[in-house]
Amino acid sequence: MNAETTKLFPIQSPQESQVKGINNRLLLALPRTILDRILRISEPVSLARGQRLYHTDQPLNHLYFINRGLACIFKTMEDGRTVEIEAIGIDDIVDALFLIGSDRAILDTVVQIPGTALRVRREDLMNEIEKDKALRQFMQRYARHVCNRVTRTVACHRLHHLEQRCCHWLLMAHDSALSDEFPLTHEFLAMMLGYQRAGVSIIMRSLVDAGVIAHKRGKVSILDRTRLEAMACECYRTTKSDADELYAAAPKFAQVFEFKQTDKSRAR
């Protein structure tokens, strides 16, 4: 365990200091007694950029509550082309398929924005869910939320313009990176959006020229979040509203991490 992880997750005992290191909204929405039980069966881990959390058909031995960073679930076709199915950040647990009884991954999951997570054995979390009615009901609501989000993503890919989808993705990344700056290349964004790199590069250049973002050396900086939200498709606002409703009981994020806001970037 590295020094950063130790600092972020001092989970030796169920004390108040544990909650202060948590940004995952799913965990923060839980009653304290349930949260303490989950923390006792969890371990802190670092998430490195490019780290593959799951391969297709790999056993789901562990699950991850994303605490900072972003993981992307994607489908690879026979010709090698890939497209993002879902982006998983601090609102989520990955892989949520365990909630419908699946013990194997059906898609690949890779970390795009590095960060941290709480890792728990699937069997241990299932035991907690099975014995606690309140937790079981909440996780059922979460599963419904994820299903709605995935179906919205499918519609978004089909109906919304590339610029709108690009802005949507940048907003999701901004939310979960807990920083105005995060790593992102045109190649990766094009892969996630299922579009040619040249088209994505044109969109990113237009956002740079408009002063909405800065992008250099493989990193993106959000400069004007308000304008970025205005340019994004309705899917970002709808998904965020649904998540806010689901996690209405959650306290505000514990800003353990430095979360620098530029003058132009709107605090969330």
Check residue 15 and give its pLDDT. 34
Rounded average pLDDT per 10-residue block, the chain, 268 residues: 33 38 91 92 94 92 95 86 85 86 88 95 94 91 90 82 92 94 88 82 94 92 96 92 82 37 41
Any domain includes 265: no
Which secondary-structure segment (H or E) carries 148?
A: helix 133-159
DSSP string, 198-267: HHHHHHHHHHHHTTSEEEETTEEEES-HHHHHHHS-HHHHHHHHHHHHHTTTPPPP---S-----TTSPP
Q: The CATH number of the domain where 215 resides is what?
A: 2.60.120.10
What is the maximal distance between C-alpha atoms in the chain? Answer: 55
Asked if the structure places residue 137 within a domain, the reply is yes
**Any residues with CB less than 8 A from the CB of 148 and at least 6 apart, and which?**
242
Residue 192: its pLDDT value, please?
A: 77
Residue labelled with tokens 């237009």:
206
Angle between helices 186-193 and 162-177 (to 10 degrees): 110
Q: Does 196 reside within a domain? A: yes
- Alpha-carbon torsion angle 158, 163, 166, 167, nearest 10: -120
Please give the structure tokens belonging to residue 182: 């995060």
pLDDT at residue number 19: 52
User: What separation in angstroms does the CA of 56 have from each of 62, 199, 257?
Assistant: 14, 29, 32
Residue 127 domain-assigned (yes or no): yes
Examine residue 266 and state whether it is found in any structural domain, yes or no.
no
**Which residue from 214, 246, 198 is spatially nearest to 25, judged by alpha carbons?**
246
Say what the pLDDT of residue 5 is: 33
Phi and psi at residue 178, in whole multiples of 5°?
Answer: 55, 35
- Strands 181-183, 219-222: pairing is antiparallel
Could you give the number of structural domains in the chain?
1
Residue 241 lies in a domain: yes
Q: In Å, how far are 107, 137, 233, 259, 261 from 245, measured between CA atoms?
A: 28, 15, 20, 24, 25
Is residue 262 one of the residues assigned to a domain?
Answer: no
pLDDT of residue 14: 32
Alpha-carbon span 138 to 247, nearest angstrom = 10
Structure tokens belonging to residue 149: 């989000």
Report the amino acid identity of residue 102: S
For residue 160, what pLDDT is reported? Answer: 82
Task: Please indicate, yes or no, if residue 27 is contained in any of the structural domains.
Answer: yes
Q: What is the pLDDT of residue 71?
A: 95
Q: What range does the domain containing 43 cover?
A: 3-246
